[in-house]
Structure 1
Amino acid sequence: MEKELEGQGNDVSDLAEIPSAQVITSTLADPTTLAIVTQPIVSLDDGGVVGYEALARFAGEISTERLFIEASELGLGAELEAIALERGLAVLRFLPRGFVLHVNVSPIYLGMQEIHRTLISAPLHRVVIELTEHVPVSETKQLRRQLAIYRSLGARIALDDAGAGYGGLELMYELEPDMIKIDRFLIEDIDHSETKAAVVSTLVAAARSRGIKVVAEGIETRAEFDETSRLGIDLGQGYWIARPGSGLPRVNTAKLSHSSRKERNVTLGRELAEVTESVATALGSTSFPDQPFGIGVDHYGRPLFLWSRGTDGVEHVRNVTEVACGSSLRECLRRGLARGVETRFDPLVVTDHTRRVLGVVRLERLLSGDQQRQGVEAS
């Protein structure tokens, strides 16, 4: 595509034979050809809808992302985004009170007249501005000044695609957004990837320490919903919750309620509370007098190792197996039984969203509780 555009400048008439250029120019000529769909954003605590994201849909089969990229290459990006933004904000006319509307804006266009005029004419106290592209950290001072204008009018700011690169983490600290949206790459199959879960857990902890809400994008399965919920993410959206559609698509409230933290009784780890025991911790200590076991921790209270004394009086130092405070009992049992025979019955270490030690869970108690639940289900 870049070779096709080379040397053609912004002369749209020369691009009439390029399908994407035809869509762009026809949209600029008649903005009503650009459709807006919305996708619900829900709370993972109770499954309730908190807002909607307005998404542009162009005529034809060319992807929205590609069209915006190519419009930028043609020098028409700001004009096209202004149309999409204006039509997206029109959703506010029928959006019930109490819900917020997410709209997408490229940071490079925030200072342009078309975008600025469209934003300040909207009731921004009901709007979340999603920054759809990363910018060099060297340019964040100007961006912060621009965002301050919209924040003074009540807008909230979200940083899209968090976790997609180190620059995204830098921007979270530089721009101090109200929300970050976890990149879809990290959400896909997160229930099968301890690495992705660890990365997301770190992002959640970093965001929480700064009062930033976290949104999981692209939740497409029940297992992804459960895992993002377990990791303490605040909000979610994706095909499993509801597909984008015209008007305000409905969600299956019964399905979401059943899967929510509140219904599963794991908010703040309440499900684990009944089986979690207190444990002695010490900063880097390898000995716990008068204790059967203890946890060595770092300066932040995060676990380093498990210390135990056997019945023969021999001391052992082993790696810990962590479980997040929002985990279900079945997940804890699965993690425990997946270990080798030698460490299978070591206590599991329960940690909060910053990985500080809250206590331990013995596998014996988990097995006993699981057998009791199976007996109840069988009866």
Structure 2
Amino acid sequence: MKSKDLQDLMIGSDDVDSVSVKLKKILSIIRKHLNMDVAFISQFVDGKRVFKFVDTESDNPPMHVGDSDPLEETYCQRIVDDSLSNITQNTSDNDITRELPITDKLSIGSYMGVPITLSNGETFGTFCCYKQSSDYTLNNRDLSFLNAISDIASSLIEQNITFENECREIEERVQSVLNPETIDIHYQPIYNLVTDHVSGFESLSRFVTTPYRTPDVWFNEASQVGLGEALEIMAIKNAINGLQAFENDIYISINTSPATILNGAISEVLSDIDAKRVVLEVTEHSPISSYEDFRKALEPLRKQGLRLAIDDAGAGYASFQHILELEPDIIKLDISLTQNIHKNRTKFLLAKALCGFSRAIGCTIIAEGIETNKELNALKELGVDMGQGYLLGRPMPIDQAVSCV
């Protein structure tokens, strides 16, 4: 293996998946370099040797990731306690390997293995490889190479352990809030800028936890451990439960991810809801893998009157692509465009262009983040249909929201 290959294996390992990919690559390289049939990384867990990573060209490998054997029946334990040499050129010639059932079980003819030792001195397991035939060419130079690669694997495994522990902590933390009572929905009013009346509310999650953590932190962590949809759906259910508290001409806007739409979860949640009173917001920051599939997934709900909003327009290219591909009912101007629009000509002209475009395609424009009267007046001058922001009303509990209509 070239030194650059070693460097590449150490760079960029910043999550569990990338570490796993690198460990698998290491196994493949070592197996091919030493002309072996199988290479594997094992972990010692509760008195067993567990295969964590396996590399082989066989279509019918003798072991799979997750398989295990009692430690006392393995080469691995004997290599760690020095009762078996790191190199066995012919297992039939060795008194220990010849008698071990694992030799026949895995069809081991020749074998090399070294311990994987973590920085705290703990033995994680072993880095091993073998072939079905004997190999009298295996030597100490090969062993030195295997030891060097094992050191790299050890470093990556420590990263993997760290990431796995972090994921477990995150999962436990997210599981602790997967309870409707831990999510309090606040509602921020959306005003019609012509009539100065409330037309609807954007629903925003607030987590009742100590210490307090912002919603974006909770949803990001949930996504990291595969609980993003569960948390999102729970928040949406809490939000739409508030519909009954408002008059029938008031709608609720819900933030959702494309994945939750594409897999049908949104359709299920909204199956018994008056779709005309719901707006789904898709943000600029949410990539959509297939616009065609997205449109098909939403088609039944949109036929029932559900409206689609593209959030964060003006914040980047993706929002414009969303608009062109999805033909939304509402375009929401991003707060970065709204702030100081009265004294920034570039922002004013971009908003003007978006307003003209929205009118041409029959879209409603909502400006977010309005905080001053000067911003509000500039947006009214542009003909913006609706607006929301701290100047008009902060997010509030539902009882306050109902009273402000």
Same fold (TM over 0.5): yes
Of residues 196, 218, 222, the one that matches 2:347 is 196
Match of 1:26 among 176, 181, 201: 176
Which residue of structure 2 aligns with residue 175 of structure 1? 326
1:5-20 superposed matches below 5 A? 15=167, 17=169
User: Among 230, 245, 261, which residue is 1:79 paired with?
Assistant: 230
Question: What SS does the aligned partner of 2:383 have?
Answer: coil
The CA deviation at 1:83 is: 0.4
Partner residue in 1 for 2:205: 56
How far, CA to CA, are the matches of 1:172 and 1:55 in structure 2?
Answer: 23
Q: 1:76 to 1:198 in 2, by over 3 A?
A: same
The answer to whether residue 393 in structure 2 is matched with residue 242 in structure 1 is: yes
Conserved in 2, the CA contact under 8 Å of 1:204 and 1:232? yes
* 2:275 match: 124
* CA 86–13 in structure 1, closer or farther in 2 if over 3 Å, else same: farther
Aligned runs of 1:130-209 on 2, under 5 Å?
130-134=281-285, 139-209=290-360
How far 1:228 sits from its partner (Å)? 1.1
* Residues 333-352 of structure 1 deviation map (CA, whole Å, 9 limit, x = unaligned): xxxxxxxxxxxxxxxxxxxx
Larger mean Cα displacement after TM superposition, 197-206 or 108-117? 108-117
Indicate how the Cα distance of structure 1 residues 115 and 191 shifts in structure 2: closer, same or farther if over 3 A, else same.
same
1:32-79 deviation line (CA, Å, top 9, x unaligned): 111101011001112111111111111242221222122112111111
- Equivalent in 189, 194, 197 of residue 40 of structure 1: 189
Change (3 A) 1:121 1:93: same
Distance apart, 1:222 and its partner CA: 1.2
Alpha-carbon deviation of 1:230? 1.0
1:1-379 to 2 correspondence within 5 Å?
3=14, 15=167, 17=169, 23-28=173-178, 30-58=179-207, 59=209, 60-134=211-285, 139-249=290-400
Counterpart contact for 2:193–2:386, Cα < 8 Å: yes
Q: Is the 8 A contact 2:291 2:325 kept in 1?
A: yes
For the 8 Å contact 1:182–1:217, the answer to whether it is kept is yes
Distance 2:252 2:301 in 1: 14
Question: What is the match of residue 302 of structure 1?
Answer: none
One-letter amino acid matched to 1:228: L
Change (3 A) 1:5 1:64: farther
Residue 222 of structure 1 aligns with an amino acid whose one-letter code is: N
Instruction: Give the equivalent residue in structure 2 for 1:340.
Output: none
Tell whether the 8 Å contact from 1:162 to 1:181 is kept in structure 2 after alignment.
yes
Identity of aligned residues (%): 35
CA contact (8 A) 2:188 2:201 kept: yes
CA–CA distance in structure 1, aligned partners of residues 347 and 175 of structure 2: 41
CA contact (8 A) 2:261 2:297 kept: yes
Q: Provide the rounded CA distance (Å) in 1 between the counterparts of 2:228 and 2:349.
A: 37
* 1:259-303 deviation digits (Å, cap 9, x = unpaired): xxxxxxxxxxxxxxxxxxxxxxxxxxxxxxxxxxxxxxxxxxxxx
109-118 or 95-104, larger mean C-alpha shift: 109-118
Q: CA deviation at 1:22?
A: 5.1
Q: Work out whether residues 137 and 170 of structure 1, in 8 Å CA contact, stay in contact via their aligned partners in 2.
A: no
Question: In structure 2, the residue corresponding to 1:51 is in which secondary structure?
Answer: strand
How many angstroms does 1:169 deviate by?
1.3
Aligned CA distance change for structure 1 residues 14 and 197 (closer, same or farther; 3 Å): closer
Residue 250 of structure 1: how far off its partner (Å):
5.5
**TM-score, length of structure 2 as denominator length:** 0.57
Alpha-carbon separation, structure 1, partners of 2:319 and 2:267: 24
- What stretches of structure 2 of length at least 5 have no aligned partner? 1-12, 20-159
Q: Aligned pair in 2 of structure 1 residues 214, 251: CA closer, same or farther (>3 Å)? A: farther
- Superposed CA RMSD in Å reads 2.8
Query: What TM-score does the superposition give when structure 1 sets the normalisation length?
Result: 0.60
| Partner SS, residue 371 of structure 2 | coil
* Larger Cα-atom Rg: 2
User: In the TM superposition, what whole-angstrom CA distance separates every residue of 1:154-209 from its partner, at most 9, and x where no partner exists?
Assistant: 21111111111122112212111000111111011111211110111111111110
Aligned partners of 2:258 and 2:287 also within 8 Å? no
Q: Equivalent residue of 1:50, what SS?
A: strand
* Counterpart code for 1:118: V
- Shift of the alpha carbon at 1:122? 1.8
